Amino acid sequence: MRRLVVTGGCGFIGSHLVRHLLAAHPQAEVVNLDLLTYAGNPENLADCAGNPRYKFVRGDVADPAALDQTLEGGADAVLHLAAESHVDRSIHDPGPFLRTNVLGTETVLRAVLRHAVPKLVLVSTDEVYGSVPEPARAAEDAPLRPGNPYSASKAAGDLLALAHRNTHGTPVVITRGSNTYGPFQFPEKVLPLFLTNAEAGQSLPLYGDGGNVRDWMHVEDHARGIAAALERGRPGEVYNIGGGNERTNLEMTRAILRLLGKPESLVRLVPDRPGHDRRYAMDTAKARRDLGFEPRVPFEKGLEETARWYRENRAWWERVKTGAYRDYYEKQYGDRLRAAGPTAARR
Ligand code: NAD
Ligand code: TDX
């Protein structure tokens, strides 16, 4: 039986990937190694809990012993997603980002070598290219210019992986995904934050002038892209995986308000994120050509389904938005919202 190890499977993208792999590989066992940080939620995989081909191991990717324990039964591949993933938190405190995204990735690379795992897919991000001015798009060989501690830690992970490939021949493939959205995303990221705030009649804190551009990809497309890299990605290669849906944050916010039938007066233009990258945009021709990967979910349809999911799963996000989340919210938005006053976006 094929044995696939996913790290960070209780997070947003990881949970969709675990589900995708179990369905797409009916002969495979999927092992999920996750530390269950604030972002890890076993409820995201509640529907897999009874599946005899699914196994959960609680452990830290920066701990070699946890990886030895997970890999000692052998593995056909490791798909490494575990990370600290939120830019604003990395600005408050980069420590956990360096530990998990840099040291953790190096620890996974060494474990893959130690256990002679034949393939490692490292899941990275379009943020490593930094802000890309119009009308350019970053191809895989573009310089890395990370603009915040999160993306710097991800770029460090990518560079360690490529150095490992060069030094030890480690069979690592890197995917760089664009901004991802869909069910089970932690409501610190802009889309679930705005959907859930709007549902609850609370303000939507839009940073700066709302003109920053992101390329949105549905999480099922992202999971399929990672799976395509597992099957067809060549070791040592990097593949950009994008949604092909560039939108300004203001356009995306208005689309949410229209879908939910909520007024624009909920929007607050708040002081900007420091060092806020203006635009992410990737050239995705290589993944199309070499992996046969094309995103399938049209943005409007994906957004509508996602909005419905958050409406129908209010208990999920109300539970998430308690305790430490409230402290985070006050730290991130308290002063910003007080500074913004009652001005709505008017562009
Ligand atoms: P997430 O924050 O929702 O989930 C991260 C998961 O990793 C959680 O389950 C958490 O418990 C686990 N984790 C964190 N530290 C760990 C550690 N030290 N050991 C083991 N597990 C640990 O993240 P996500 O949005 O699903 O992102 C997954 C991956 O995809 C990340 O590597 C991220 O950089 C990358 N990515 C995300 C996006 C996006 O838009 N969300 C886009 C491109 C790339
Ligand atoms: O409250 C907010 N207001 C706002 O205007 C938040 C949280 C965000 N924003 C803006 C900042 C960005 O321009 O929305 C855009 C998206 O922000 P995030 O959801 O924080 O995502 P981003 O910083 O673009 O990073 C995401 O995509 C790349 C993921 O969080 C990363 O894990 C991934 O690598």
HEC letters along 206-247? EECCCCCEEECEEHHHHHHHHHHHHHHCCCCCEEEECCCCEE
Low-confidence ranges of the chain (pLDDT < 50): 345, 347
Which ligand is closest in space to the CA of residue 124? 1
Q: Which residue type does 235 have?
A: P
pLDDT of amino acid 340:
85
Q: How far apart are the first and last CA of the chain?
A: 56
Query: Given CA atoms 103, 105, 110, 115 in this order, what sign does their dihedral have?
Result: positive
Q: Which residue type does 240 have?
A: N
What is the Å distance from ligand 1's center to 315 Cα? 22
**Residue 197 has which token pair?**
């705030």
CA 95 from chain centre, in angstroms, equals 19
Q: How far apart are CA 336 and CA 347, in angstroms?
A: 20
pLDDT of amino acid 341:
59
Most ligand 1 atoms within 8 A of CB, residue of 81, 101, 316 to mutate: 81
Helices (H), the chain: 12-24, 64-71, 87-92, 95-97, 105-114, 149-168, 190-199, 219-232, 249-260, 285-286, 299-312, 314-320, 324-329, 335-340
pTM of the model: 0.98
**Which is the closest atom of ligand 2 to the Cα of 249?**
14
What is the Å distance from ligand 1's center to 206 Cα? 23
pLDDT of amino acid 123:
99
Q: Exposed (0-12), middle (13-18) or buried (19+): which is 119, by Cβ within 10 Å?
A: buried
Q: Are 184 and 12 spatial neighbours (Cβ–Cβ below 8 Å)?
A: yes
What is the Å distance from ligand 1's center to 5 Cα? 15
Residue nearest to atom 28 of ligand 2 (CA): 179
pLDDT of amino acid 182:
98
pLDDT of amino acid 139:
98
pLDDT of amino acid 1:
82
| Domains delineated in the chain | 2-182+218-241 (3.40.50.720), 190-213+246-278+298-346 (3.90.25.10)
List all residues whose CB is within 6 A of at least one atom of ligand 1.
Answer: 7-8, 10-14, 34-37, 39-40, 60-62, 81-83, 85, 100, 104, 123, 125, 154, 177, 179-180, 186
